[in-house]
Amino acid sequence: MNPSTLITPILASGGDHGYLYGLFFLILALIIGAAARHFLHKVPLPFTVVLMLIGLGLGFAFRGAHVGDAHGAGHGAGHDGFLAKLFDALRGSVEWGANLDPHLILYVFLPILIFEAAYALDVHVFKKSFWNAFYMAGPGIVTATVMTGGCVMAIYSLGWGLAEWKVSTGDLGLYLAMLFGAVVSATDPVAVVALLKELGASKKLGTLIEGESLLNDGTAIVAFVVLIGAVTGASVFTVGSAVSGFFVIGLGGAALGIVIGLVGVAWVKRVFNDPMVETSVMLMTAYLVFYACEHFFLISGVLGLVTLGLVWAGIGRTRISPEVQHFMHEFWEFAAFVANVVIFIVVGVVIALKVHPQPIDYLVLALVYLVIHLVRMVNIVALYPIMRKTGYGLPRKDAVVVWWGALRGAIGLALALVVYGQNTELQFTVEKGGHGYAADSKVFFEDADGNREQLKDVTITLAHAEKHEGEHGENHDDDHGESHEDGLAESQAGGAIAGLAIGSDYVKPFDEDSAKLAAKRESLANPKAKIVIEGGGSGAVIKAKLLGISKRIRDQFLFLISGIVLLTLLVNATTIKFLVNGLGLTRIPAVKAK
């Protein structure tokens, strides 16, 4: 008998081990990040490009073994031997990364990336560069969104691609184009700023580019929040509500960031030379600001993080113990390193496993790459008369670097992943109840004229009809029945309780074409339209909203944003050195803060 068979792996036995794939994915990502930084540092490509290419390679390597969802798979189930288990762990972890919830990415990694960038700013230089950064990130992001969106509309109107974005029903095409314009306008100049420092270029130039990016990300995400609801059908877009929402969401987030930042600084002021406490307080404030803004108050967590980071970088810097300051910067640099590693690898894996670009999409990518540079040039030329007289001013040579150095990065990728996650769903709310529904109960869509269409691929899980008081006084239970592929619930006691929102269910029939989706969404918006359930019960009436974005559009959106990130890193970031040297900007001494 093999002695090892007598050993029972208590810690790893029993239960669902899908989470182990997530742990192994993190281990794999850290190995890749460390190895790429150590062994591939001489490769003439930006570090983040290398990460995305590795993610693409991992995704393509396991594309044939792609099964759709690794979150609930049993870890190593049915696999004997080390190599078989290793292959299963690799496959499962890649699947896990491809199915990672994009909102989890936002809540876990976005606070690190935004706060680290704000905390690293030289506040004294930023104060004098603020208005120029604001012009580019405030009015500039609005005009960039509109101009880019207009060019996207021209592309699909002229038949040069994006055919499914052209929707005659409602304003979906307009909202999609503007949403894309907002996401693609979010800049990430980390590579450029690092290179400018290395070349000894003007500190005011690096601070202007970095400060604009911070404010730019905040305003772009506010625009994203305002537009995403209109694109998915979750909310109705009006110019008045958009403008008021833009200011309330943005200013509210900025204010909360300042308040929480001051509280955190006051706490750290009472601590002396304790890196564990001081780092914990700073880390806590970063996550608290983002969580409170996004979850509790529905305001901009990104702008909250920007103002929080500036508070810590300003008055907070002198409150941190001198012995802790170096450790603090190293900690946040490492955290940002991990966040970038995970995001870029995840995007590469998602594209390889799930996105299927068509030849026309590459033409659109080239057009969009030209568009974003043309739009940025127009913005800088229009704002130049004001910017050259504000703060440190903006010399023409600096303006050229500001134009060419607007890279795209992790923020745009994270938002593109959120868009990609907007599967088509029907969101149900019961208006008229009933109980006693069998699993084979039929679900119909009834339009305003009373015409019915059976929804064969819709799964609605209703509540058990016990102990909860329904609309006719019956006692029903709040528990939900088991989901069944053929209809409502496995239990014939399935009940439709009046006033009960019964969640969102994936809808296949409307996921093929955005025009059909928009038409069905408009039909459901009619007060007389409804979902009717027929079966053993009394005929429940359900109101429904059709949410989400078609698969083809989600594929194109993620492909285009990822492609723009890759192109700006491959082309702009690798040529900026020659541009700076050619313009003679390396001879300009760093500007001292006044």
Contact in structure between 40 and 57 (CB atoms under 8 Å): no
Contact in structure between 451 and 576 (CB atoms under 8 Å): no
Q: Quick one: average pLDDT of 214-224?
A: 91
pLDDT at position 403 is 96
The model's confidence at residue 572, banded by pLDDT at 50, 70 and 90, is very high
Task: Please say if the pLDDT value at position 483 is more than 50.
Answer: no
The model's confidence at residue 243, banded by pLDDT at 50, 70 and 90, is confident
- pLDDT, tens digit, 9 for 90 and up, residues 45-65: 889 999 999 999 999 998 876
Angstrom CA distances, 329 to 112, 131, 137, 203, 323, stand at: 12, 27, 26, 19, 12
Contacts of 244 (CB under 8 A, 6+ apart): none
pLDDT at position 220 is 92
Task: Please say if the pLDDT value at position 204 is more than 50.
Answer: yes
* Residue bearing tokens 């009834």: 446
pLDDT at position 42 is 87
Q: CA–CA separation, 340 vs 565, rounded Å?
A: 13
Burial of 15 from C-beta contacts in 10 A (0-12 / 13-18 / 19+): exposed
Q: CA–CA separation, 324 vs 316, rounded Å?
A: 12
Neighbour tally for 502: CB within 10 Å: 19
Neighbour tally for 359: CB within 10 Å: 7
Task: Please say if the pLDDT value at position 324 is more than 80.
Answer: yes
- Sign of the torsion angle spanned by Cα atoms 578, 584, 589, 593: negative
Return phi, psi of residue 543, to 5°. Answer: -90, 145
Q: Quick one: average pLDDT of 544-555?
A: 88
Helices and strands (DSSP H and E) totals, the chain: 19, 9
Cα of first residue to Cα of last residue in the chain, in angstroms, is 79
The model's confidence at residue 530, banded by pLDDT at 50, 70 and 90, is confident
Q: CA–CA separation, 588 vs 594, rounded Å?
A: 17
The model's confidence at residue 467, banded by pLDDT at 50, 70 and 90, is very low
- Per-residue DSSP letters for 27-53? HHHHHHHHHHHHHSTTSSS-HHHHHHH
Q: CA–CA separation, 399 vs 409, rounded Å?
A: 21
pLDDT at position 432 is 67
CA angle 444, 445, 448 (to 5 degrees): 135
- pLDDT, tens digit, 9 for 90 and up, residues 25-48: 999 999 999 999 999 988 888 899
pLDDT at position 458 is 62
The model's confidence at residue 478, banded by pLDDT at 50, 70 and 90, is very low
Q: Quick one: average pLDDT of 563-578?
A: 92
Helices 139-157, 203-232: inter-axial angle, 10-degree rounding: 50
pLDDT-above-90 percentage for the chain? 57
pLDDT at position 439 is 58
The model's confidence at residue 12, banded by pLDDT at 50, 70 and 90, is low
pLDDT at position 474 is 40
Q: Quick one: average pLDDT of 378-386?
A: 97
The model's confidence at residue 587, banded by pLDDT at 50, 70 and 90, is low
Q: CA–CA separation, 546 vs 233, rounded Å?
A: 7
pLDDT-above-70 percentage for the chain? 80
Task: Please say if the pLDDT value at position 309 is more than 90.
Answer: yes
More confident residue, 41 or 312: 312
pLDDT at position 307 is 97
State the DSSP code for 480: B
Q: Kindly list the structural domains of the chain, giving each domain's residue range(s) and its CATH number in brackets, ordered by start.
A: 16-98 (no CATH), 102-415+554-587 (1.20.1530.20), 425-547 (no CATH)
Query: Given its phi and psi angles, is residue 79 left (phi above 0), alpha (psi -120 to 50 degrees) or beta?
Result: beta
- pLDDT, tens digit, 9 for 90 and up, residues 109-159: 999 999 999 999 999 999 999 999 999 999 999 999 999 999 999 999 999
Q: CA–CA separation, 376 vs 385, rounded Å?
A: 15
- pLDDT, tens digit, 9 for 90 and up, residues 447-461: 888 888 887 666 565
More confident residue, 542 or 418: 418
- pLDDT, tens digit, 9 for 90 and up, residues 227-242: 999 999 888 888 888 8
pLDDT at position 485 is 36
Q: CA–CA separation, 495 vs 268, rounded Å?
A: 55
- pLDDT, tens digit, 9 for 90 and up, residues 395-441: 999 999 999 999 999 899 999 999 999 988 777 776 666 666 665 66
The model's confidence at residue 297, banded by pLDDT at 50, 70 and 90, is very high
- Sign of the torsion angle spanned by Cα atoms 370, 363, 177, 51: negative
More confident residue, 525 or 365: 365
pLDDT at position 64 is 72
Q: Nearest to residue 162, comparing CAs of 472, 428, 553?
A: 553
- Per-residue DSSP letters for 15-28? S--HHHHHHHHHHH
More confident residue, 363 or 546: 363
Q: State the average pLDDT for the chain.
A: 83
SS3 418: helix
SS3 468: coil
pLDDT at position 591 is 43
pLDDT at position 490 is 33
Neighbour tally for 119: CB within 10 Å: 24
Contacts of 141 (CB under 8 A, 6+ apart): 182, 185, 216, 219, 220, 223
The model's confidence at residue 479, banded by pLDDT at 50, 70 and 90, is very low
More confident residue, 49 or 7: 49
pTM reported for the whole predicted model: 0.85
